[in-house]
């Protein structure tokens, strides 16, 4: 696993570039997911605009507007933080790299550089304001803004609202962990629930789209392939960082102290569990409560590596497992029993489903139906992957679903309802378009 890009370059290319320790693997893939989704959304919105299904809105734009005081304050804060952390890193690199996340979330850094940065950044904005007031004529112009030009706004709102929603839903799902360490749970770079982010971001973006008079059904149809692609790429971050978002234990496989996957018989599995009781008991209360299911690689799939069915996530970013041999540093843990690498399965499934949605988007012309199909496909995919994932279960009238199972079931029902509704009212919506 690669907690940050330093480890990836070191392992794959043999290059040791300490600067790359700044870039967390999970965050890197999340950024790629947002960029890829923004590109796909933009292309689909442009296509629908050319077909006349989506129209622009005229807005008044102020030309020569001076920099506001709020922008000056924000610039000063940015300069303060950059000076505090970047110069602080340069002055105390070795210590900061021992726990980069802890350093970034602390008050450590260069206070002198922070004050200087705040003065320089805010001063530059003040200079621009004075120059604009002196040399520029202020006037209003009416411009037409097309839906695809709103994608940067959608992306920023999705990033902020999605992060907040993902954190809220994750901590609700893992309430005991949150109560034990609320500050750590909130600032941790791991621990994000995709559906929480999706729900909160959707509410924010749809509300914004209504204000900007954007056709909602065409917008969500355009977003469907982008969302599926973003989810698949985001799961790459989960897998390659080893962020703890994996499946239950596959008792047909164990891992050695170097992180290599090895097949074990049922009796050997019990021995491995007993040997690593110090790891299992704090998590599950006893070695009898460990969630596991044995599934050995079928002969027909002999071309696949063993780690496709059971993986120990060596060097995982959440530092979970037992100590690896001949390893120094903060990322030297490996799971003693292999788990189902569910992020890997979701990468494959969601990239495939993205291709399906992308292929059918021109054939399905009833607005809203593509998004309904997305809800059904994503809900079914997640519902079944939950069967081999580790998550908190609820007790509802004798049933014990996870949060994701509840939401994914609602997504399937909602998707089917949306498809039915849109097809029933397609003539009305087509006329409105």
Tokens 């491995």 belong to which residue?
Answer: 272
Q: Are residues 84 and 77 in contact, defined by beta-carbon separation less than 8 angstroms? A: no
Q: Are residues 353 and 401 in contact, defined by beta-carbon separation less than 8 angstroms? A: no
Q: What pTM, to 2 d.p., does this model score? A: 0.82
Over range 182-199, report the average pLDDT: 63
Question: DSSP assignment, residue 54?
Answer: S
Q: Is the pLDDT confidence value at 192 over 80?
A: no
Per-domain boundaries in the chain: 65-136, 249-340
Q: Is the pLDDT confidence value at 391 over 80?
A: no
Q: Are residues 383 and 343 in contact, defined by beta-carbon separation less than 8 angstroms? A: no
Q: Is the pLDDT confidence value at 89 over 60?
A: yes
Q: Measure the CA–CA gap between 50 and 212, rounded to whole angstroms.
A: 19
- Residue 190, phi then psi, degrees to nearest 5: -105, 175
Q: Measure the CA–CA gap between 154 and 356, rounded to whole angstroms.
A: 24
Q: Are residues 138 and 51 in contact, defined by beta-carbon separation less than 8 angstroms? A: no
Q: Is the pLDDT confidence value at 432 over 50?
A: no
Over range 81-103, report the average pLDDT: 76
- The per-residue DSSP string of 258-300 comes to TS-EEE--HHHHHHHHHHTHHHHHHHHSSTT---B---PPPGG
Per-residue pLDDT band at 224 (split at 50, 70, 90): very high
Residue 31: Cβ-neighbour burial (10 angstroms; 0-12, 13-18, 19+): middle
Query: Mind listing the pLDDT tens digit for each residue in 277-326?
Result: 999 998 888 888 888 999 999 999 989 999 999 999 999 988 999 999 88
Per-residue pLDDT band at 178 (split at 50, 70, 90): low
């Amino acid at each position: 696993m690669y907690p940050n890009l330093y480890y990836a370059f070191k392992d794959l290319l043999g290059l040791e570039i300490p600067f790359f320790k700044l870039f967390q693997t999970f965050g890197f893939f999340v950024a790629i997911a947002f960029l890829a989704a923004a590109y796909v959304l933009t292309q689909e919105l442009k296509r629908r605009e050319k077909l006349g299904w989506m129209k622009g809105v005229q807005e008044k734009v102020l030309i020569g507007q001076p920099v506001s005081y709020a922008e000056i304050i924000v610039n000063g804060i940015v300069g303060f933080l950059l000076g505090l952390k970047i110069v602080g890193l340069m002055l105390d690199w070795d210590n900061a790299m021992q726990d980069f996340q802890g350093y970034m979330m602390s008050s450590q850094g260069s206070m002198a550089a922070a004050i200087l940065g705040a003065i320089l950044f805010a001063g530059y904005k003040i200079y621009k304001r004075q120059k604009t007031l002196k040399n520029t004529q202020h006037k209003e112009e009416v411009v037409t803004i097309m839906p695809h030009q709103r994608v940067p706004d959608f992306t920023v709102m999705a990033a902020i609202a999605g992060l907040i929603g993902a954190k809220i839903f994750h901590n609700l799902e893992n309430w005991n962990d949150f109560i034990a360490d609320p500050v750590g749970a909130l600032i941790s770079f791991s621990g994000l629930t995709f559906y929480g982010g999706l729900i909160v971001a959707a509410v924010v973006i749809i509300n914004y789209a209504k204000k900007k008079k954007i056709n909602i059904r065409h917008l969500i149809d355009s977003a469907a392939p982008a969302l599926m692609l973003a989810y698949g790429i985001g799961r790459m971050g989960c897998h390659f960082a080893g962020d703890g978002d994996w499946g239950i234990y596959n008792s047909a496989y164990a891992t050695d102290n170097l992180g290599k996957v090895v097949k074990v018989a049922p009796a050997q599995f019990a021995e491995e569990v007993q040997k690593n009781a110090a790891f299992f008991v704090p998590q599950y209360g006893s070695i009898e409560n460990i969630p596991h299911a044995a599934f050995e690689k079928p002969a027909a799939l002999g071309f696949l590596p063993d780690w496709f069915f059971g993986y120990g996530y060596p060097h995982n970013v959440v530092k979970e497992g037992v100590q690896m041999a001949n390893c120094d540093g903060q990322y030297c843990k490996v799971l003693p029993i292999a788990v189902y690498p569910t992020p890997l399965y979701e990468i494959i499934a969601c990239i495939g489903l993205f291709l399906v949605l992308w292929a059918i988007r021109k054939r399905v012309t009833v607005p809203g139906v593509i998004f309904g199909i997305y809800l059904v496909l994503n809900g079914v995919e997640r519902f079944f992957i939950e069967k081999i994932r580790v998550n908190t279960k609820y007790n509802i009238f004798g049933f014990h679903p996870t949060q994701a199972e509840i939401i994914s079931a609602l997504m399937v029902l909602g998707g089917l309802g949306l498809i039915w509704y849109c097809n029933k009212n397609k003539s009305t919506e087509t006329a409105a378009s």
